[in-house]
Amino acid sequence: MHNPGILILSAPSGAGKTSLARSLLAAREDAGLTISHTTRPQRPGETAGKDYHFVDHAVFEDMILRDLFVEYAEVFGNYYGTSIASIEAELNAGRNAILDIDWQGARKVRSQYPSAYSVFIMPPSREALEQRLRGRGQDSEGVIERRMQAADSEMSHRNEYHRIIVNDDFHRALRELNDVLDNLESAATYKVANDSGAN
């Protein structure tokens, strides 16, 4: 097997990225999802250390000061971040590290891991995305509008990615992702720019 690499996955909410990532990981032993840190409360059904590392604001901000994150962001009053350790843990175990992050996080990761490969998951259309969000039956009209604005912003950055996969056929999209994972570049050229001070 080749040396493990880093695969960045981004998508607007509702494009099916989480389902694709879960199916990809369930079928492969050579890949692992990096576990993000967050300050948001743990939700019912979530497992600490599996879904997220749940920490308070003071712990998260101390990790920022110590440059322990490759990328982080504040979303609706809560922090989310990918630690350098979570990426290294996967690579050191011989697994490809899968990062589920937005376009801003993807930029930061690419700047520190230039050989990371990035894939943007697109919905079949904007209308299909809106239908999926409404079909969840979880959100108010205001929340849906905000999610669609965020989706438009996210999709406007799709051309920054190495590859765009349109999720109009789940099994075909999954085959394309598997193909990407089979051909990830060697991790030998990865360098973490710990001394750059970039956040």
pLDDT digits (tens, 9 = 90+) for 19-69: 999 999 999 999 999 999 999 999 999 999 999 999 999 999 999 999 999
| Residue 187 banded pLDDT, cuts 50, 70, 90 | very low
- Does 76 have pLDDT greater than 50? yes
Amino acid 135: pLDDT: 84
Cα–Cα dist 66/128, whole Å: 42
pTM: 0.86
SS3 readout for 16-47: CHHHHHHHHHHCCCCEEECCCEECCCCCCCCC
Amino acid 188: pLDDT: 34
Amino acid 196: pLDDT: 35
Amino acid 137: pLDDT: 76
The DSSP output letter for 117 is E
- Does 1 have pLDDT greater than 80? no
- Does 186 have pLDDT greater than 60? no
24 closest CA partner among 119, 116, 92, 94: 119
| Residue 14 banded pLDDT, cuts 50, 70, 90 | confident
Amino acid 190: pLDDT: 41
Q: What is the mean pLDDT of residues 185-198?
A: 39
Dihedral pair phi/psi, residue 115, rounded to 5°: -90, 0
Q: What is the mean pLDDT of residues 90-114?
A: 94
Q: What is the mean pLDDT of residues 125-133?
A: 91
Average pLDDT, the chain: 89
| Residue 139 banded pLDDT, cuts 50, 70, 90 | confident
Q: What is the mean pLDDT of residues 4-27?
A: 94
